[in-house]
Amino acid sequence: MKQRNGSRSLVGLLAAAVLTLSGCTHLDTPPSYAKGVHVDCGGKQDLTGSGSTAQANAMTHFITSYEESCSGKQLAYTASGSGAGVADFLAGKTDFGGSDSPLSSDEHKAAQQRCGGADAWDLPVVFGPIAITFNVKSTDVLTLDAATLAKIFSGAVTRWDDPAITALNGKMPAEAIHVIYRGDASGTTDNFQQYLQAAADGLWTKGAGKVFNGGAGTSAQGNEGTAEAVKNTEGAISYNEWSYAMRQHLDVAGIQTAGGVVHIGNDWVGKTISNVTIKGAGDDLVLDLSKVYAATTPGAYPILLASYELVCGKYPDAQAGKAVRAFMQSTVTDGQQGLAPLGYIPLPSDFQNRVAAAVNSIS
C-alpha cells in the first residue's frame, strides 16, 4: 500500500497554502515595484515568441498582464523548448525568445546580425525550482542527493532497491528505475546537469548543456511531456520545472544537501535565491547560479533555473522594439504578481531594478 504522508501531499499542501494565504502573508504579496505601473503601450499590434517550456505556465500569466495593460495588443508564444526558442529568435522568426540558459558567445555573435548590429540581451523574468519527480507505487516519500541522482541519470544505478538509494531511504521496492529525460534541446536539462556537475562530488562526468548527456532512459518532449510520462510510468523518475509537478500532482523527492534534507518550499528570497548574483555585463543580465547548486544553508533548495527573455537592445524594426519593450515592462512589473501559486519565484526587488532599467532601454 502506497504511503500518503510524503512528497505528493507536500506539493498539494504547499500549493494550497500559497493559494489560501496569498492575500495575507509574504507567500504571494504583490511586490512593491508592481504598484502604480506605467506601460508604454506602443509599437505593432501582434508579437511572437517561442522557447522555454519551463516558463510556459508563467508566460500565459505574462501575456494576460500585457494584453490587459495594452488593450488591442496580442502576443502568441509557442512552448517549443529553449533550443528552439533560441534558434527562432536568431533566425528572426520571432520577436523574442524564451530560454532557461543564456545565449552562448557564438549565439551572441549570430544575434548581432539578427538585431541589425545591436547586441542581444538575456533578461531574467522568473525563477523556477526543478523538482525531481517520481512514480513508485509503494511510496510517495523519497530522499535523494546529487551523487545518487548522478548515478541514476547516468545509468549506474538502475533499481530502486540499489544500496545507494536504500542508504538514504531504508527499504525500497525491488523494481527497475525508468529514467525519463528531455529529448528536445532544453534549458531545464542544462540547469539540471549543471547542478549535477557542481554538487555530485565528481560523479557526473557527462557535462552540461541543453542536450541530455546521461545516456540512460527514455526521452519525452518538453516539461509537459516528461511530467506526463512520469505520471503514467511505474518506476519512473525525471526532472521537471515545479509548476508541471504541481499541475500533474506528481510525487517530488526531497534533496539531501550539506544543510540537511530540503523540500521545495516558500522562503525563496531568504534562502534559495539569496546566493544568486548577476555576472552579465551592461544590460545583458546573465545570472550566476553556481552557489545555489552547492547550497549549504538549511532550507535552501539547490536545483533551480532562471528563465530569460532574449531580446534585441535595439530592433531593426522600431515598431517591434516598442512592442517588445511594452511587453517586457508589463512582465517585470505587474506580471510578477501571482506567480507563486503557479509554482514560480518572482524577481526580488534588487534584480527587478536592474531588469527594469534594461527593459526601458529597449528601442
Q: Output the known binding site.
A: 52-54, 82, 100, 186-188
Q: Output the known binding site for phosphate.
A: 52-54, 82, 100, 186-188
Q: Is the dihedral of CA 267, 236, 50, 284 positive or negative?
A: positive
